[in-house]
Amino acid sequence: MAWTGLSIGLDALSYGMVLFIISIGLSIMMGLMRVVNLAHGAFAMIGGYLASFALKNAGVGYPLAIVLTVLGTIAIAFPLEFLLYRRIYRKSDELTQILLTIGIAFVIIGVANYVLGPTTKPIPLPPLLSGPVDLGFRMIPAHRIFVVICGVCTAGLLWLLIDRTEFGIRLRAAVDNGDMAESLGIKTQILFSATFALAVGLAAFGGVVGAELLPVEPFYALRYMVTFLVVVSVGGAGSIPGAVAASILLGLADTTGKYLAPEYGEFFFYLAVILVVFLFPNGLLGRRH
């Protein structure tokens, strides 16, 4: 029984970490820049497609492919930032944001479906990460251990970046009072662009390392969007520890449900969401706006 618990916990942790890596970018966009970016899943999907192309067609190694993917996705997203997103940062009209970003998501889905076809695109793993690893009490896919490590590193580095660096201090100042920050000589436009790039890069990174659990196909962009939004709202927008806690909690609810009562589908996942949002209307660690 104890082994079963631990076993579920491991699956939950790795699923939670995938959710975390993808959702944290969205959380940053929503919490720090007040943009409800419904195209976030689309950027994760672009990351997955680029990685698939780099690994299968261009034949580069897995680590290099991840780096190229993140940079490539940012490069693709940059014109969108310059032409569209720049206009909606910190604007309070949420309807405009939603219409714009969901429109972008639809365009990306349409293009992906037309150009790359509707089938799932594989992201081949290097031998080191594929196949099972024997932990003694159970076998676990090696890839899941890698995902957990990626998640922990991402959380740590992001916390350092936002809480401990000059960039983080300036960003938080610009978020809390943009006009004041501007008059003190902080170039908020550049800060926001950099943060957008960070969020998109994280989405792409998550799209690649999470592809085993969330397979890359054109409808990825919207299929998992609800899940990502749920993680942000349960964790509290803009909070890194909140997003970690929410991802693990929701991963645990989903995985336990699947193990013990698979026929209930996502019942336990959404039950956990309802309970948390009922008890913490601003998310587990969210700030009141």
The residues of the shown chain that bind other proteins, judged by CB under 8 A, are 4, 7-8, 11, 14-15, 113, 117-120, 122, 124, 130-132, 134, 138-144, 212-215, 217-219, 223, 254-256, 258-259, 262-263, 265-266
Other CB atoms within 10 Å distance of the CB of residue 188: 18
The distance from CA 71 to its chain's CA centroid, rounded to whole angstroms, is 16
Which is closer to other proteins, CB of 82 or CB of 137?
A: 137
Q: In sequence order, what DSSP letters do the residues of 53-72 get, joined into one string?
A: HHHHTS---HHHHHHHHHHH
CB 137 within 8 A of CB 1: no
Which is closer to other proteins, CB of 81 or CB of 266?
A: 266
Distance between start and end Cα atoms, the chain: 44
As measured in angstroms, the least distance from the Cβ of 4 to other proteins is 7
As a residue count, the chain comes to 289
As measured in angstroms, the least distance from the Cβ of 242 to other proteins is 23
As measured in angstroms, the least distance from the Cβ of 101 to other proteins is 21
As measured in angstroms, the least distance from the Cβ of 127 to other proteins is 11
Judging by beta carbons within 10 Å of its beta carbon (0-12, 13-18, 19+), is residue 288 exposed, middle or buried? exposed
With H, G, I as helix, E, B as strand and everything else as coil, classify residue 130: coil
Distances (CA, A) of 15 to 1, 26, 59, 102, 278: 21, 17, 28, 25, 24
As measured in angstroms, the least distance from the Cβ of 133 to other proteins is 8
Which is closer to other proteins, CB of 79 or CB of 262?
A: 262
Strand partners, 202: none
Which is closer to other proteins, CB of 218 or CB of 238?
A: 218
Which is closer to other proteins, CB of 199 or CB of 203?
A: 203
Which is closer to other proteins, CB of 110 or CB of 241?
A: 110
As measured in angstroms, the least distance from the Cβ of 225 to other proteins is 13
Other CB atoms within 10 Å distance of the CB of residue 139: 12
